[in-house]
Structure 1
Amino acid sequence: MNEVKLRGKYLGATQIKEVGTNGTKIRQFYVDISDNPEYPNTPEMQLINDKCTLVEHLTLGQEIEVFARLKGRKGVDKDGVERVYTNVDVWKINAIQRTSAAFVVPGQAAPTPAVGTFANPAPNTPKSDVPF
Structure 2
Amino acid sequence: MSDLGSTDTTRQSPSVLRSIGLLHGELRMLHGLSLLDYLVLGAIAEAEGRVVPVAELTASLKESGSRMTFVLRGLQAAGLIERDRRAGDRRTVEVTLTDTGRAQLAEAERTARTWLRRHAALQQTC
Q: TM-score, normalized by length of structure 2?
A: 0.23
User: Which has a greater percent of helix?
Assistant: 2
Flag the structure with higher strand content.
1
Structure with more relative contact order (C-alpha pairs < 8 Å, separation 6 or more): 2
Return the index of the structure with the highest Cα Rg. 1
